[in-house]
Structure 1
Amino acid sequence: MPRAKERKQKPKGAAPSVVPILQKFLKTYQKHCIQSRTSMCPAIQRDLKSSIDREQFLRKFMLVRAGNSAVSTLPVSLEPLLMTIRDESYALAKEICIWGLQLTNPEIARLALFLEQKGYTTCPMTTLEIVDCKMDLWSLGRLGKALQFSSLHFLVLDYCKFGNEELERIFAGLESNQRLQGLSMRYCGLGPWSGPRLGSVISHSAICELHLDGNYLQCSGTLALLRPIAEYAEMQRKDQPTLASPHAGNPPQLPQVCQGASSTSSQIVKSSKILTAKKTSQKKSGKGGIRKKVKRLTEAGPWIVMLHLADNSIDGTGREGEQLLELTRTLTCLIKYSTHLRELDLGNNVLGETAAAGILEALRARKSGKLPPLKVTVTPRISSDTFRSIWKLSKKSNTTRKKKKKVKN
C-alpha cells in the first residue's frame, strides 16, 4: 500500500500562524463597530478575509464608504479601525487609505494621536492617503500639528479641496519635517497663491517627491515653487561640480546636511558650503524604482527628485502669461543643474515653442554636463521635431524584456 502523505511539521521557533491573528483582528474590528454604532468597512472586511485565505498579513487598509446604502444605514468610521490596531497591537500595517468619507473631529483627533505616538505606536505607519474627503478647519489644524511628529514617509491628499486658510493648516505641519519624503496634492484647487508656500515647504523639509497635477498654479505659482529649487541647484553645481556622477547610469552623490536653506542666493551659498556628500547604495531598480530611491533620501533642503505639474494652466495667455519667459529660464536652470531631479511632468500645459526649445537645449546641456538622465514630459502641442527631440533625450524606461532561456532537449 502507498504511504500516506506525512504532514509537514513547522520547525521549532517558527513564526506564529497568520490566520488566528487576522481572525482575532476581524472579530475585534466587528466588536468596535458594533459598540460605536458604525458599519464595518466592506473593503477592510473583504481584504481581511482574503488575507486569511492566502495566509498573509494585511499591510494596507482601505477605508471606503459602503457601496449599498440600502443594506446598512450606519456610516463607516475610522475610529473602530484605529482602536482595533491599538488593541491587537497590529504592528504590520504600513498604509491607511481613506477614500470619499466625511471625517469628523473625533476621527481626526484619534488619527492625530495615532500619528503622534511615533516610535511608541503599535503601528509604524509610513503612508497615509486621505482622498476626496471632507474636513473642517479644526480637523485640518489638528492633522497639521500631528504631521510635525509623525513618522510618515508619504502623504496623499488628492481631491481634497483647499483654500488659503485650509492649506496653511496643513503646511504648518510640513515645514521642518525631516521624515516626510513624498507629498501628493492632485486636484486640490491650488491656485497661484499657493506657489510661494509650496516653495517654502520644499525648502525647509525633506520632501523630494511632489505631485501637484490638476491644480491651477499657472505661471506665477509655478515660478514661486521652482525658484528656490532652481537657485539651489545652480549654486550647488557651481560650488561643487564633482557632485555629478561621470556615468549616467550611476546615482549621484546626495547632500547629507542642508540647514536653513531658502530662496535667497546668499543663504543657498551658505548652505552649500556646509554640504557633505555620501554615495547611495546601488540597488537594482524594479517596479516602483523611483519610490525606492526616494525612501533613502531624508535630507532637508530646496531640492526635488520627482515633480509632477501636469494640467496646471501653465501657458502664455492672460496676465499670468507675462511670466512665462521668466518661468522658462527657471525651468531650464533646474534641468541643466539639478543633480537630484529624475522626473519632471509638464504635460497638458501649453508652454509654446519658445519654452519647449529652451527645455530641449537644457536637456542637451544636461547630457553634455554628464548629469544623471532626466525623464521630461511635455504636451505634444509643439512642433513635431522639438517634441521628438525632447522625447529622445528624456530618460527611457529601464524595463527590458527578459530573454527566454532555451530549453535543452
Structure 2
Amino acid sequence: MQKAQSAEASRAESDVVVQLRALWRRYEHHCKQTDSCPSAVLKHDILLNIDKQEPLRKITLSFPEYSPSDALLPSLQPLLMAIRDERYTHAQEFHIWNVSLKQKDVVELCVLLERTRRTVYPLISLELLDCKLDDLSMEGLSKAASISCLTTLCLDYTCMGVEGLKCLLSGGLGASRIRSLSLCYCGLGSWSGTLLASFLTNSSVRELYINGNELQCGGATELLRPVAENSQKIAGNQNELKSITDAAELISQRSSMMSSMQKKAKSKGKKSKKKQGKTKRSPDMATGPWLARLHMFDNSIDDTGKEGPNQLTRFMELICILVTFSSHLTELDIGENHIGEDGGKVLLEALQERKTAKLSPIKIQVSTRMSTETFSSILKSAKELKSGKKRRQKKGKTK
C-alpha cells in the first residue's frame, strides 16, 4: 500500500517538473519569436520550483539587469502566450515589474483574468508595478477584474490623472471581489479624495494603501468622511442593540421569578440561544464602507495648505472618530504627515477611548514631529506599525 502511494506521489511530482520545464521552453520560444529578452527572475523561480518539485504559484516578471541600450526589449507577450499554450493554471499571484505594457498586452492580460473562458486561470493577486498604463488600459483592467477571481490589486508607481482614476474606479472594479487595493506613489492629488470615497462606499475593498501621494488635508478628509461616519453609525447601532438586549434581560429576569425553577432554567436556555443568534454578526456583514487597513503614509497632510490649521483639524476629527468607533480597524499609517503636537494629543485621547470601549488595539504609525512624551504615549496605547511601502530608488532616476 505504501509503495503504491509512494509511486503515485512520485508520478505527481514528475508531472509538476514536466509542466514547469514545458512552460519555460515555451516562454523561451516565444521570446525568440517576438525578439524579446527572457526574464532571469522568472527562470530562477522556475528552476527553484523544479528543484522543490512544487508548482509555481507566484509568477514574477522582472528585468532588473535590463539596460535601454540592450538589443532585446522586455515584454509581457511571450509569458502570456506560454501560459495559454501550456494551460498553466497553478499560478495564484502575478507580479509584473517595470514593464511598458502595450494596449495588446493589457487586452490579453484581461482575457487571462476573466472567468468566462473555457480555461480558467484562478489568479487572486495582480501586481503591476510601474507599468505605465493609459486610461483605456485602466478601464479594461477594471472591467476584467469584475469578472475575475482577483482579491488583491496593486498598481503602485503607475502615474494616473483624474481620467485614469475615474476609468479604473468606475469601470467595474466596485463590483469585483477585490478587498485590497494599492495605489501608492501614483501621483494622486487632493482631487482623488472624492473619487476614492465614492468607490469605497460602493465596493468590498477593506484594505487601502495610498502611500506617497498628494491627497493633503482636503483630499484625505473627503476620503475619510464616509468611512468615519459609517463606523460611528455602526457603533451607535451596536450600543442601541446592547441597550435593548440589557432591557430584555431585565424583563426576562423579573418575569422568570414568577415561574418555577424548572421552567426558569428551560426558558433561560432558549432565550440565551435566541439572543446569540440575533446579536452575533460577522465583521464582513457590516453595511456601508469600512476599512481594516488604511495606509496613507507621506501624503502632505499638514497645516500648510490653503485653509491652514482648520483643514488639519477636520482631518484629525475624522481620524479620531475612526479610531474611537471602528471595531474593524487593525492598521492605520499616517506617518510622514505632520499632524503636530495638537494632532498627536487628540489622537492619543481617541486611542484611550478605544481602549476604554474594549475594542481591539490597532497598529499605528505617526510622524515624530511632536513632543517625545506624546509620541511615546501614542505607541504605548497602540502597537507600532512599520510601513512596508516606502519610496524606492531606481537606476538612473528617483521614483
Do 1:342 and 1:374's aligned partners in 2 also have CA atoms closer than 8 Å? yes
Shift of the 371–243 alpha-carbon distance from structure 1 to 2, 3 Å rule, reads farther
Do 2:143 and 2:173's aligned partners in 1 also have CA atoms closer than 8 Å? no
Output the amino acid matched with 1:304. Answer: L
Do 2:145 and 2:173's aligned partners in 1 also have CA atoms closer than 8 Å? no
Output the amino acid matched with 1:61. Answer: I
CA offsets per residue over residues 54-100 of structure 1, 9 Å max, x none?
32221111112362449952222212212222222212111111111
Aligned to 2:6: 11
CA offsets per residue over residues 340-383 of structure 1, 9 Å max, x none?
00010110111011111111101111000011111121111101
Residues in 2 aligned to 1:89 and 1:391: alpha-carbon distance in whole angstroms:
50
Report the alpha carbon displacement of residue 242 of structure 1 after superposing the two structures with TM: 8.3
Match of 1:302 among 262, 276, 289: 289
Aligned to 1:166: 164
Structure 2 residue 365 is matched with structure 1 residue 367 = no
Residues in 1 aligned to 2:285 and 2:233: alpha-carbon distance in whole angstroms:
20
Residues in 1 aligned to 2:87 and 2:17: alpha-carbon distance in whole angstroms:
16
Shift of the 147–320 alpha-carbon distance from structure 1 to 2, 3 Å rule, reads farther
Residues in 1 aligned to 2:200 and 2:354: alpha-carbon distance in whole angstroms:
23
Report the alpha carbon displacement of residue 117 of structure 1 after superposing the two structures with TM: 2.5
Shift of the 303–63 alpha-carbon distance from structure 1 to 2, 3 Å rule, reads same
Match of 1:278 among 275, 281, 295: 281
* 1:153-302 matches, cutoff 5 A: 153-173=151-171, 175-241=173-239, 278-279=281-282, 301-302=288-289
Residues in 2 aligned to 1:161 and 1:361: alpha-carbon distance in whole angstroms:
37
For residue 90 of structure 1, give the secondary structure of its aligned residue in structure 2: coil
Match of 1:343 among 316, 323, 331: 331
Report the alpha carbon displacement of residue 226 of structure 1 after superposing the two structures with TM: 0.5
Do 2:75 and 2:100's aligned partners in 1 also have CA atoms closer than 8 Å? no
Aligned to 2:79: 81
Residues in 1 aligned to 2:358 and 2:241: alpha-carbon distance in whole angstroms:
11
Match of 2:137 among 125, 136, 139: 139
Residues in 2 aligned to 1:118 and 1:395: alpha-carbon distance in whole angstroms:
44
Report the alpha carbon displacement of residue 45 of structure 1 after superposing the two structures with TM: 1.6
Do 2:91 and 2:123's aligned partners in 1 also have CA atoms closer than 8 Å? yes
Aligned to 1:316: 303
Aligned to 1:92: 90
Report the alpha carbon displacement of residue 149 of structure 1 after superposing the two structures with TM: 1.7
TM-score (norm 2): 0.80
For residue 75 of structure 1, give the secondary structure of its aligned residue in structure 2: coil
Greater alpha carbon shift after TM alignment, 10-19 vs 216-225: 10-19
Output the amino acid matched with 2:281. Answer: K
Note the residue ranges of structure 1 that are not aligned, 5 or more in a row.
1-7, 245-274, 281-296, 398-409
Residues in 2 aligned to 1:23 and 1:199: alpha-carbon distance in whole angstroms:
46
Note the residue ranges of structure 2 that are not aligned, 5 or more in a row.
243-277, 386-399
Match of 1:387 among 354, 360, 375: 375
CA RMSD of aligned residues (A): 2.5
Shift of the 82–187 alpha-carbon distance from structure 1 to 2, 3 Å rule, reads same
For residue 294 of structure 2, give the secondary structure of its aligned residue in structure 1: strand
Residues in 2 aligned to 1:72 and 1:330: alpha-carbon distance in whole angstroms:
51
Do 1:205 and 1:300's aligned partners in 2 also have CA atoms closer than 8 Å? no
Aligned to 1:23: 21
Do 2:217 and 2:305's aligned partners in 1 also have CA atoms closer than 8 Å? no
CA offsets per residue over residues 235-268 of structure 1, 9 Å max, x none?
1000113899xxxxxxxxxxxxxxxxxxxxxxxx
Greater alpha carbon shift after TM alignment, 146-155 vs 301-310: 146-155
Output the amino acid matched with 1:319. Answer: K
Aligned to 2:250: none
Matched residue pairs, number? Answer: 345
- Whichever of the two has the greater Rg, that structure is 2
Taking only the aligned residue pairs, the percentage that are identical comes to: 40
Match of 1:378 among 366, 381, 387: 366
